[in-house]
């Protein structure tokens, strides 16, 4: 029956495209279904426990990243082999290729994922051939939001792209290796062909012992890094992105980093306590930061381990997110372990980093105290969405929060949101009767929905109902959090188990909504769940508000 319901929903959506004359939209949707059918065959071969062995093809300077990937695959019982040279035959079941442009021959497109590690600030690597290689791959991994934005303009975009920021790799089974400190700083990378790097390093060498390494890799390089008090990171390009592979490799070895700053360093809050930044392009700022770092180098003994562990946790969560999105792991696998959040909060914005326009939009309007959560993905978009709410509810219960606010990245907030939000929270905290969910807007009203009470407080009408349909802006109380935490990710019936329908069919819920609604829904955005424009929701939301107003009038009439 669930499969029949899904087919019926797909047919209904197709007819809607035709009804509004959106033939290009229908064609794109049919292509998407075609790709999904083809990809499903590959996923069946890769399901965890199938015995599939992955090949990880890398260059020597990306060996650290390959090792982190291999370790994470092993944690799920998936075998892998790291290869640092060109293969003549591709006999593994599947491949992850790092720095694909460095290899003359690549595995077949339907058996490879390319991990894109180049910086979009330099266009020399992004040739037409390289873009085709990305497009023809089963999927693309990308470590930088800036690069995701760049690739989207090249036509390589969601759902083909998966965000995977590099993280530390902490091998808990390996003994800690201590080394005598021989150098104040170590630099490794290409300094000979970069005049800006040479200028920085020459000045640093005038005051400190600095070892410069080129074409040294693997354990030999790790041994040298351990002999340094710190590693110095200087950009090859002006305006470069943060070199997270190098930074994470160093902090994994227990060595802090002094790094030139970048515009995107704020994307990696987990590095705080392990990396000290100085102003980009300023040798004077580097020297001042180096002086301070050397004076207080012992302080990293207490802060670096926690930063490295958090970085490793983020990588683990995001890599598992990728495996679930591919269908290699079941939907419940990522929900059985702690999630990664950038900082503790009771207010989250749910957003897929791969839908970069939406991510940039919510970042611009994000209220104070609101933390962005990288939404969980699934081949069924609505399962990924519901999984995100399930994960956040488990987080809230684990942190003993009495309420949790979640907005989606296509929400419209009023200009005076902080004031409105404070008033709503004050009302919820002080109302005498129970509430389970506060909804900022509703997209639909169930035919059997009833108004249970109406209150006018401080010029705003609060309506309590027994059913709801919308997750664009909600505040969840303890009982709702408990219900969300037991939602079943393995129930794939889209008619009854989407997160809003799941909540709608719960018994004895108390839903509070205001008239008029305090939030809106951006029409220009495209639904990441169903693939149609949000403009379709606008008349539904207006109709829902009208229906609630009619129900309120009827309730008031009966109470006279």
**How many Cβ atoms from other residues are within 10 Å of residue 380's Cβ?**
19
If asked whether residues 504 and 415 sit together in one domain, one would say yes
Residue 310 scores a pLDDT above 90: yes
347-379 confidence digits (pLDDT tens):
999 999 999 999 999 999 999 999 999 999 999
Instruction: Specify the CATH number for the domain of residue 96.
Output: 3.40.50.2000
Sequence length of the chain is: 560
If asked whether residues 202 and 348 sit together in one domain, one would say no
Q: Higher model confidence: residue 480 or residue 173?
A: 480
If asked whether residues 418 and 531 sit together in one domain, one would say yes
525-541 confidence digits (pLDDT tens):
555 544 445 456 688 89
Least confident of 228-242, 396-410, 514-528: 514-528
If asked whether residues 195 and 263 sit together in one domain, one would say yes
**Mean pLDDT computed over 457-482:** 94
If asked whether residues 268 and 363 sit together in one domain, one would say no
If asked whether residues 344 and 375 sit together in one domain, one would say yes
Q: What is the pLDDT of residue 531?
A: 47
If asked whether residues 261 and 293 sit together in one domain, one would say yes
If asked whether residues 441 and 545 sit together in one domain, one would say yes
Distances (CA, A) of 151 to 38, 57, 162, 522: 23, 22, 12, 24
If asked whether residues 189 and 283 sit together in one domain, one would say yes
220-250 confidence digits (pLDDT tens):
999 999 999 999 999 998 999 999 999 999 9
Q: What is the pLDDT of residue 125?
A: 84
Q: What is the pLDDT of residue 361?
A: 95
Q: Is residue 386 in some structural domain?
A: yes
Q: What is the pLDDT of residue 446?
A: 85
Q: What is the pLDDT of residue 486?
A: 97
**Mean pLDDT computed over 134-139:** 97
**Mean pLDDT computed over 119-132:** 90
Question: For residue 398, what is the enclosing H or E element?
Answer: helix 381-398
Give the number of domains in the chain: 3
**Mean pLDDT computed over 301-311:** 97
Q: Are 140 and 97 in contact (CB under 8 A)?
A: no
Closest CA to 520 of 359, 411, 361: 411
If asked whether residues 342 and 377 sit together in one domain, one would say yes
- Measured N-to-C along each axis, helices 283-295 and 195-205 cross at an angle, to the nearest 10 degrees, of 40
The range of the structural domain enclosing residue 151 comes to: 48-163
If asked whether residues 127 and 66 sit together in one domain, one would say yes
Distances (CA, A) of 108 to 44, 80, 94, 142: 17, 17, 9, 19
Q: What is the pLDDT of residue 368?
A: 95
Question: For residue 95, what is the enclosing H or E element?
Answer: strand 94-98
Distances (CA, A) of 275 to 260, 290, 297, 343: 10, 12, 11, 18
Beta strands in 399-528 (DSSP E): 403-408, 411-412, 437-439, 451-457, 460-465, 473-477, 511-515, 520-521
Q: Is residue 31 in some structural domain?
A: no
Question: In angstroms, rounded to a whole number, what is the distance separating the alpha carbons of residues 350 and 32?
Answer: 24
Q: Is residue 316 in some structural domain?
A: no
Question: In angstroms, rounded to a whole number, what is the distance separating the alpha carbons of residues 522 and 510?
Answer: 27
Q: Is residue 38 in some structural domain?
A: no
If asked whether residues 304 and 362 sit together in one domain, one would say no
Q: Is residue 76 in some structural domain?
A: yes
- Across all residues in the chain, what is the average pLDDT? 91
**Mean pLDDT computed over 321-335:** 96
| Residue written as token pair 């074409």 | 215
Residue 81 scores a pLDDT above 90: yes
116's tokens: 């894109």
Q: What is the pLDDT of residue 122?
A: 79
Domain boundary among 308, 343, 370: 308
**How many Cβ atoms from other residues are within 10 Å of residue 13's Cβ?**
15
pTM: 0.90
Q: What is the pLDDT of residue 500?
A: 87
196-227 confidence digits (pLDDT tens):
999 999 999 999 999 999 999 999 999 999 99
Is it true that the peptide bond before 516 is cis, omega within 30 degrees of 0?
A: yes
Instruction: Specify the CATH number for the domain of residue 484.
Output: 3.90.550
């Amino acid at each position: 029956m669930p499969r029949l319901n899904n087919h019926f929903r797909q047919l209904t959506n197709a007819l809607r495209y035709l009804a509004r004359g959106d033939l290009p939209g229908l064609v794109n949707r049919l292509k998407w279904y075609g790709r999904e059918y083809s990809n499903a065959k590959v996923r069946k071969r890769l399901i965890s426990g199938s015995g599939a062995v992955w090949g990880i093809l890398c260059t020597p300077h990306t060996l650290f990243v390959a090792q982190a990937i291999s370790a994470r695959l092993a944690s799920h019982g998936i075998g892998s082999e790291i290869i640092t040279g060109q293969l003549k035959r591709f006999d593994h079941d599947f491949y992850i290729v790092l720095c694909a442009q460095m290899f003359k021959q690549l595995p077949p497109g339907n058996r490879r994922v390319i991990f894109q590690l180049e910086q979009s600030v330099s266009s020399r690597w992004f040739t037409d051939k390289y873009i085709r290689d990305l497009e023809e791959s089963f999927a693309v991994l990308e470590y930088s939001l800036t690069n995701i934005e760049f690739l989207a303009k090249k036509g390589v975009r969601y759902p083909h792209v998966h965000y995977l920021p590099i993280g530390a790799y902490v091998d808990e089974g390996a003994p800690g290796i201590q080394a005598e400190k021989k150098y104040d700083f170590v630099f490794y990378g290409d300094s000979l062909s970069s005049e800006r790097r040479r200028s920085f390093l020459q000045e640093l060498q005038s005051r400190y012992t600095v070892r410069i390494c080129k074409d040294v890799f693997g354990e030999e390089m790790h041994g040298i890094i351990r002999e340094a008090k710190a590693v110095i990171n200087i950009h090859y390009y002006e305006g470069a992105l943060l070199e997270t592979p190098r930074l994470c490799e160093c902090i994994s070895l227990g060595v802090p980093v002094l790094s030139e700053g970048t515009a995107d360093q704020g994307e990696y809050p987990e590095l705080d306590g392990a990396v000290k930044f100085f102003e980009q392009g300023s040798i004077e700022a580097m020297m001042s930061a180096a002086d301070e770092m050397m004076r207080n180098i012992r302080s990293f003994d207490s802060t670096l381990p926690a930063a490295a562990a958090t970085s490793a946790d983020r990588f683990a969560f995001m890599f598992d997110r990728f495996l679930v999105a591919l269908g290699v792991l079941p939907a419940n696998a990522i929900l059985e372990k702690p999630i990664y959040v950038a900082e503790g909060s009771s207010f989250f914005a749910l957003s897929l980093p791969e839908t970069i326009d939406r991510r940039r939009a919510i970042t611009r309007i994000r209220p104070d105290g609101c933390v962005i959560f990288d939404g969980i993905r699934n081949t069924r978009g609505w399962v990924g969405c519901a999984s995100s709410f399930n994960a956040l509810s488990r987080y809230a219960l684990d942190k003993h929060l009495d309420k949790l606010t979640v907005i989606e990245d296509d929400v419209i907030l009023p200009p005076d949101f902080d004031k409105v939000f404070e008033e709503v929270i004050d009302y919820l905290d002080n109302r005498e009767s129970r509430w389970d969910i506060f909804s900022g807007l509703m997209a639909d009203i169930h035919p059997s929905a009833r108004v249970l009470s109406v209150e006018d407080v401080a010029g705003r009408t609060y309506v309590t109902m027994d059913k709801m349909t919308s997750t664009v802006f909600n505040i969840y109380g303890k009982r709702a959090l408990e219900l969300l935490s037991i939602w079943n990710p393995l129930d794939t019936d889209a008619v009854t188990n989407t997160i809003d329908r799941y909540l709608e069919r719960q018994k004895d819920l108390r839903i509070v909504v205001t008239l008029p609604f305090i939030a809106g829904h951006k029409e220009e955005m495209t639904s990441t769940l169903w693939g149609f424009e949000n403009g379709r929701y606008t008349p539904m939301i207006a109709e829902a508000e009208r229906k609630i107003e009619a129900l309120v009038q009827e309730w008031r009439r009966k109470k006279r």
